[in-house]
Structure 1
Amino acid sequence: MFSAAKQWVTNMTGIGQGAISPEAFETFWSECTSIHADSPTRFYKEVLNKFQKQDRRDIHSLSDDSTYDPATKVRFVCTSDTHNQTDRYNFQVPDGDVLIHGGDFTQVGCVKEVEHFADWLDTLPHPIKIVIAGNHELSFDPMTASDPNIRERLIGRLHKSCTYLEDNSAVVSGIKIFGSPWQPLFGNWGYNLKRGEECAAKWKEIPDNTDILITHGPPIGHGDRVRNGIRAGCVDLLQEIQLRVKPQYHIFGHIHEDAGVTTDGQTTFINASMCTLRYKPEQYPVVFEMDKISEETILVSAPAEWNLSDPRKK
C-alpha cells in the first residue's frame, strides 16, 4: 500500500523541484482505504504526514518587486481574520491590485462591526477587494442570522466597498477566483458543516477551472494546526483540491496560530490570518503575483447573484 505515494515523497526533495504529477495525487487518494474524514488529526498522523509533504515557505518568497510589472502581472494581497482589530495595526497593508480577505472580519457579525470593516476597506488603495465571510459573521449565515433582512442589509453594505463572494466567482484579468465561507463544524458559530457528506457536497461546487480558491477554513495538513496539536482542517477539501480543482493558490484563515504559507508541490496554501491566537493584530498579509491571462474582469456584485442556499436544508 502507498508504494507510488512513497516514491513521490522520495522524489520531492524541496521547493522548486517541479510540479507534482496529477497521477501522484490520484495514486495517493486511491490507496487511502480509510479516509478518516471525520477524524482529521488521525488522518494527518496515520496517512497524510507519512506520504505527502507539506513544505513551509517564506511568506516573502511569493512576491518580487524587481519582476513585478502591472502591465503583465496582478498583485494579490491576502488578509484574513482581522476581527474588528484593524485600528490597532502598527504596519501598513501592502499595496497591490487585488485585496483578498478570507473571512472573520468581525467578532460576532453585528452591524457596527460590519460597518467598521467596510469603512476600513474604503481607506485601502487596492482597486479590487474581494471578501468572504467566516464563522464569526453570524449575521451572514442564514442559519444563525437573527433576521434575514439584516443579512441582506449587511451584504449590501459590503458590496459598496468590495466584491463579496459566497459560493460564487469573480474574474480578474482572466484569473478565476472562487470564494466560500464554510468550514467543518467548529463550535456554535456560523457556516458550519458536518464532516463527511456535507463538506464533500459543498466542495464539489467549486468550479474545475478555479485559479485562486478562497475558503474560510483550511484543508487538512496546511495551516490547520491548533495550539494543542489537533488538526482542524478538512480532509474532503484537500481531496477535492488535489484531485479535481488544482488551484494555483488557496487562501484561507480561521486557525490563527498556524498562519503562513505551505505547498504540496501543486498548490500554494496561504493561511492569511492577521490576528494571533490571543486576537492581537500582529501577523502580516501575504503578497503574491500572477501573470495576467486576459483582459477579462467580472466582479460579482448583483444581489440576484448571491447564493443564498444552505446545504444543511437539503
Structure 2
Amino acid sequence: MRILQISDTHNMHQQLTNMPAADVIIHCGDFADNGTEEETLDFLNWFIELPYPHKIFVTGNHDLCLWDAKGIENLPENVHFLQDCGCEIDGIKFFGLAYNHPEALIPDYTDIVVTHEPPVMILDESNGVNWGNAPLRNRVQEIKPKYHLFGHAHDGYGTDKQEGIVFSNGAILDDRYNIINKPHIFEITK
C-alpha cells in the first residue's frame, strides 16, 4: 500500500498539484486557517475529488468548525474522517485522534496513528519552541505502531525512525505560510 501524507495546508490545498500517485492520502489537520464552515466545505470538496482510492483526515487546531463533530454526513465511503476513531484498509489499521484529545483513546493494535499534534521532542520544533505532546509520545511508544503521522510544527517537517516506529511531520507550509515541503510517500506492507 502506498500512502501519501500532507498536513498544515491552511487553505492552500488548491495549490497542491501534481501530487504523487498513492492508494491512500492522509491529511493530518490544519486544512483551514480560521476554522470557518466555508473553509471546511472548500477543503472537503477538494479532498473528496482527489483521485485517490482512499482518503483520511483529522482535525488540527485551526479546524474549529469540526472540533466537536462526531462525523460528517454524506461523506463518500472512501473518505474517512478519523475523529477519535479508526478504519481498516487492506488489512492496515489506522486510528485518527482529534486535536488535543486524550491519547488513551488510541487502541493497542494500530498500524498507523494519525494526529495533528506531534509527540514531544520528535519533529516538533518550530520557531525555537517544542510543540509536542508528552503523553502522546508515551502512548505511541507503548503501542508501537509502524507509523505515527502528524503535522502542527511547520518547521519540524521531516521523518525520523525511533524504536521501529517511523515518525513523520508532513507540514507542507513553513511558519511564514509558504509552500516549501513536498508530501511524504510511504510504502506500507502488512
TM-score calculated relative to the size of structure 1:
0.57
Deviations 1:173-205 (A, max 9, x none): 11110001223xxxxxxxxx6xxxxxxxx2121
Deviations 1:124-181 (A, max 9, x none): 2110001111111111123xxxxxxxx57x8336x24721011100001111100012
**Aligned-pair identity (%):** 34
Partner of residue 132 from structure 1, selected from 44, 49, 58: 58
More strand by share: 2
Q: Which has the larger radius of gyration?
A: 1
Q: Cα–Cα, structure 1 residues 240 and 122, in superposed 2: closer, same or farther, change >3 Å? A: closer
AA partner of residue 164 (structure 1): F
1:87 matches 2:14: yes
CA distance in 2 between partners of 1:123 and 1:168 (Å): 23
Partner of residue 106 from structure 1, selected from 27, 32, 39: 32
1:257 matches 2:155: yes
CA distance in 2 between partners of 1:205 and 1:290 (Å): 23
CA distance in 1 between partners of 2:85 and 2:50 (Å): 24
Secondary structure of the 2:96 match is: strand
CA distance in 2 between partners of 1:132 and 1:211 (Å): 16
CA distance in 2 between partners of 1:205 and 1:114 (Å): 25
Structure 2: give runs of 5+ residues left out of the alignment: none
Are 1:135 and 1:181, in contact at CA under 8 Å, matched by a contact in 2? no
1:180 maps to what in 2? 97
Are 1:170 and 1:176, in contact at CA under 8 Å, matched by a contact in 2? yes
1:212 maps to what in 2? 112
Are 1:217 and 1:254, in contact at CA under 8 Å, matched by a contact in 2? yes
Deviations 1:263-308 (A, max 9, x none): 11321000011111111222111000112x4xxxxxxxxxxxxxxx
Matches within 5 A, 1:1-314: 74-89=1-16, 91-142=17-68, 151=69, 155-156=72-73, 159-160=75-76, 162-183=79-100, 202-228=102-128, 230-243=129-142, 245-291=143-189, 293=190
Shift of 1:121: 1.4
More helix by share: 1
TM-score calculated relative to the size of structure 2:
0.92
Q: Cα–Cα, structure 1 residues 281 and 123, in superposed 2: closer, same or farther, change >3 Å? A: farther
CA distance in 1 between partners of 2:13 and 2:105 (Å): 32
Structure 1: give runs of 5+ residues left out of the alignment: 1-73, 143-150, 184-192, 194-201, 294-314
AA partner of residue 257 (structure 1): D
CA distance in 1 between partners of 2:176 and 2:72 (Å): 28
CA distance in 1 between partners of 2:86 and 2:14 (Å): 30
Moved over 6 A (4+): none
Secondary structure of the 1:156 match is: coil
